[in-house]
Structure 1
C-alpha cells in the first residue's frame, strides 16, 4: 500500500515550521552546500533510515530540490508512523515564492 502524504505549498510550509514542524532536507551534500532553508536539518536521502530516529519529537516536513525525492521520503516516514508532509515543488518552489535561502 502506498502511503499518501500531504503536499504543502511554500507559504503553508513556513507556517508549519513556525508551529514547530522539523524541516528535513534530503538533498545531497553538494546541493545542501549551494543553499538551504534556514533551520533545516540535513539528512541526505540515503541516510534517512539510519538518522531519522533523532527527529521523532516533531512532525516532519521534508524538502528536496523539486519535491520528488522528498515526497518518497515523506511516504516512507508516514509508513513508519511519523506525521510527515512534503514541500511541494521543493527548494525551487520555496525560492520562487520569494522565501529566503541561506547560502
Structure 2
C-alpha cells in the first residue's frame, strides 16, 4: 500500500472534524504543544498495536514527519487509511496556527 502524505497547508485546508488526528510523539512533547483536537498515542504504542485502527481514516502527525511516516506505514499495513502530515507539529506551529498544550 502506498502511504499518503500531505503537507501542513494541505492538512489545514482539507482536515475534517470526523477524521482523528493521532500525534505519535512522546507524552512530554505532546503536552508542550499540539494540534488542537489531536490525541496522543506514542509511536511505540502504534507500532505494537496498529490493528486497533484497522478500517479507520486518520491523520498521523509528529514533530517534523519522520515518526508519522513510520507510524502511517504500520497503520496502512494493518488495514487503516492513514495520512502522514509532512512538516508535522513544527510546521503547524511555525505557520502561526493555534496550538493546545497539556495532556489529552
What band does the TM-score fall into relative to the shorter chain?
0.7 to 0.9
Instruction: After TM superposition, list the pairs within 5 Å mapping 1:45-84 onto structure 2.
Output: 45-48=43-46, 49-50=48-49, 53=52, 55-56=53-54, 58-84=56-82
Q: Which segments of 5 or more consecutive residues in structure 1 lack a partner in the other structure? A: none
Gapped regions of structure 2 (runs ≥ 5): none
The Cα of 1:20 is off from its aligned counterpart by: 2.0
> Using the alignment, how far apart are the partners of 2:66 and 2:93 within structure 1?
17
The change in CA–CA distance for 1:6 and 1:68 in structure 2 (over 3 A counts) is same
Q: How many residues align?
A: 100
Deviations 1:7-44 (A, max 9, x none): 21112212443252210000001101101111101101
User: TM-score, normalising length from structure 1?
Assistant: 0.84
- What RMSD, in angstroms, separates the aligned Cα atoms of the two structures? 1.9
SS in 2 for 1:85: strand
Structure 2 equivalent of residue 35 of structure 1: 33
1:7 to 5, 16, 29: 5
Structure 1 CA distance for aligned equivalents of residues 18 and 41 of structure 2: 18
TM-score, normalised via structure 2 length: 0.83
